[in-house]
Amino acid sequence: MASHLDGTRERAAGSEGFKARLHELLEPSPSRDLPGKLLDGVLLSLIVLSVAAVILSTVEWVSGLYGWHLAVAQFAATGVFTVEYVLRLYAAPAASDGRYRRPFLGRLRFALTPMALIDLLAIAPFYLVFFFSGAELAGTTLLLRVLRLLKLFRYSRSLAVFVEVLRGKGGQLVASFFVTGVLLVLSSTVVYYSENRAQPEVFSSIPATM
């Protein structure tokens, strides 16, 4: 009986340790170890590449030549972001501040945080198309895919520290360009979706709208 209880405790401790390490890997911070920095780099690259694929898919000649490749890129990115979201939800109770300590309610509380909602919106379009169809949905899912850019704000603290080390006081300027770029892409997507059918020659793609 005692050995059985000891084994149960060891498994529970191992599970908690795994959650804590997972949470540490997934949450960006200036004091990252090498695996964490590599994961940050992969996720940052995927965010930028997946949004670029969405934008390029609205350019007719690019979509005609590389439509299948762009679709595969978006499919792969969605798969990675789905796994990321599930792992963040799983590891949430291991947060060092204890905000999400309770297994169910803690995860629910985490899922309702702004960044977790953005993570959910980043993958929602892929799954929506299985249940709904139509031109209105196509425009909505396009906008939601571009909202993946907001995931970059999770890494803004690490990026700010990095830029400050490299460029000194230029960090504020870089941050301004970063925010402006995100707003430009989001607003251009909204205008493209709203005006493309009425003025297709003017708003022929998201880059043209920009």
Q: Tens digits of per-residue pLDDT, 113-170?
A: 888 888 888 888 777 776 665 544 555 566 667 777 777 777 666 555 555 555 565 6
Segment 193-206 mean pLDDT: 82
HSE of 185, CA atoms in CB hemisphere, 13 A = 22
Q: Provide the pLDDT for residue 6.
A: 46
Q: Which long-range contacts (CB under 8 A, 24 or more apart) does 80-84 make?
A: 80/43, 80/46, 81/46, 81/50, 81/119, 81/122, 81/123, 81/148, 82/123, 82/126, 84/26, 84/43, 84/119
Q: Which residue has the higher pLDDT, 145 or 110?
A: 110
Residues 6 or more apart in contact with residue 25 via CB below 8 angstroms: 35, 36, 39
Q: Provide the pLDDT for residue 84.
A: 92
Domain assignment present for 201: yes
pLDDT at 30 over 80: no
Query: Domain of 40?
Result: 34-209
Residues 6 or more apart in contact with residue 157 via CB below 8 angstroms: 28, 29, 30
Q: Provide the pLDDT for residue 167.
A: 56
Q: How many domains does the chain have?
A: 1
Q: Provide the pLDDT for residue 207.
A: 85
pLDDT at 22 over 70: yes
Q: Provide the pLDDT for residue 86.
A: 93
pLDDT at 34 over 80: yes
Q: Which residue has the higher pLDDT, 9 or 130?
A: 130
Domain assignment present for 7: no
Domain assignment present for 29: no
Closest CA to 197 of 136, 132, 133: 136
Segment 175-179 mean pLDDT: 79
Contact yes or no for 174/167 (Cβ under 8 A)? yes
CA pair distance 105, 148, nearest whole angstrom: 26
Contact yes or no for 146/55 (Cβ under 8 A)? yes
Domain assignment present for 26: no
Domain assignment present for 165: yes
Domain assignment present for 18: no
Q: Provide the pLDDT for residue 140.
A: 56
Segment 87-112 mean pLDDT: 85
pLDDT at 85 over 60: yes
